[in-house]
Amino acid sequence: MTTDKDLSMDGQSAMAMFAAKGIDVTPNKDQGVVKVVKRQGVDGERPMMGDRVTVHYTGKLLNGKKFDSSLDRKEPFSFNLGKGQVIKAWDISVLSMQKGEVCTLLCKPEYAYGSAGNPGKIPPNSSLLFEMELLSFEGEVLTDDGGIIRRIKVKGDGYTNPNDGATVDVHLEGSCGGRLFDSRDVRFTVGEAEDKGVPLGVDRAMEKMQKGECCILHLKPKYGFGREGKPEYKVGPNKDLVYEVTLKDFQRAKESWEMDLNEKLELASGVKHKGNQYFKAGRFHQAIIQYQRIVSWLEMECGVGMEQQKRIQDFLLISQLNLALCFLRLKEFSHVVENCNKVIELDGKNEKALYRRGEARLLRNEFSLAMADFQQVLQVNSSNRAARAQISICQRKIREHHEQDKKIYANMFQKFAEYDAKVCRRNMAVIKNKTKQKNE
């Protein structure tokens, strides 16, 4: 990146340079942000709305006074583009840059700190000069595991998003390895996109989108068509997918607080059935969405009368148990234990919850805890043969673990003994040599 020398001109000289070489990058072409490219970047993609961008920058007033610099801190600065995390001039100008590009920006007050300024640094109504280098950019990560990455081509309108259960109208274009395999308009319910052949990743991204938004979604196999692939689209197993999605319209579903208890209980039956269908089809992620919906509706409800309270508890118990089973299939054992614990809080002698928690703990190599769970199962139902078999497995695993520990410690002590013997021999040799020298 260039140096302070490049921003050391006075205000009049700066205005002359930008008038001669500058490019107006504002959408309205009102000269609010003018850019002069000092070093061209790498040809290729430019950042998009929502991308995580990393830059180096130096900011100065028109009189040449520096007020901030990432270079002085020796630390690049990162932010999410178009999210209002930085001044408006930055959100606009970085969209026009390429990776490696260095440019100088002249920003009017309304695109910088406006009439308020930044007390102690920037006076009110100040135009500012920035020199900026775009170091890198990457799409917005929508999931903790990095399985869904979004890049926004066209920003949507408003501040509302589709919620779980909303009805959405979208245009989809799906591709795999550069080959377009799906292009259509489709309507689906958020949380049930699988019914229309739409992958989980597109479904999950809906709750982040706004009406009119067009984005590109990069989906890992878990959020695409998984290990099975999609033969009708000629997409093989474990393939990364790219979807261009335009949210044309949506109708939000009622939130939990907008429904009374009777409505929730009525809807819960259908949602449970839908979850069971997904589970039987091996669509565990989709089943989880359905069961979690029931829990979110009912976990804070008390009910009126014994009958209603029992219906609430029955729905919660079956939903938590089914969630535990889904997570067990997905090998997400901490979630299995968490959901089983919630069942046991409601019903301390629930055989299925104790057994499934034991299975998860056994697979986490928590053999003693697992054995305690299976023993509790036998206290509830002494004829549970599976629990007896699991106890035998736990006992064998505990013995194997102890034997392994004994070998580790035996080898450790053997090495200590060998080391001590070696040191002793060396010390004896030293003493012998000194005695010999003394006698001579």
DSSP per position, 305-355: HHHHHHHHHHHHHHHHHHHHHHHHHTT-HHHHHHHHHHHHHH-TT-HHHHH
Residue in 6, 24, 68, 169 annotated catalytic: 68
Sign of CA dihedral 129, 134, 135, 140: positive
87 is catalytic: yes
Residue 419: per-residue pLDDT: 66
Say whether domain 148-251 belongs to CATH 3.20.20.10: no
289 is catalytic: no
pTM: 0.78
68 is catalytic: yes
**Which residues 6+ apart lie within 8 Å of 425 measured at CB?**
none
**Which residues 6+ apart lie within 8 Å of 245 measured at CB?**
170, 171, 172, 173, 202, 205, 209, 214, 215, 216, 217
Rounded-to-integer distance, Cα 2 and Cα 401, Å:
61
Rounded-to-integer distance, Cα 237 and Cα 110, Å:
52
Rounded-to-integer distance, Cα 414 and Cα 75, Å:
50
Chain region(s) in the chain for CATH 1.25.40.10: 256-395
pLDDT tens sequence across 282-332: 999 999 999 999 999 999 998 888 999 999 999 999 999 999 999 999 999
Residue 437: per-residue pLDDT: 63
Residue 402: per-residue pLDDT: 82
- CATH for 256-395 is 1.25.40.10
Residue in 18, 57, 137, 374 annotated catalytic: 57
Chain region(s) in the chain for CATH 3.10.50.40: 11-138, 148-251
Residue in 18, 111, 113, 137 annotated catalytic: 113
pLDDT tens sequence across 207-247: 999 999 999 999 999 999 999 999 999 999 999 999 999 99
Residue in 130, 137, 243, 367 annotated catalytic: 130
243 is catalytic: no
57 is catalytic: yes
For the chain, residues with pLDDT lower than 70 are 1-12, 405, 408-421, 423-424, 427-440
Query: Which alpha helices (DSSP H) does 137-212 contain, by range?
Result: 200-205
Q: What is the secondary structure of 17-60 as a DSSP string?
A: HHHHH-EE-STT-SSSEEEEEEE---SS----BT-EEEEEEEEE
Q: Report the top-level CATH class of 11-138.
A: alpha beta
Residue in 4, 6, 24, 67 annotated catalytic: 67
188 is catalytic: no
Residue 20: per-residue pLDDT: 79
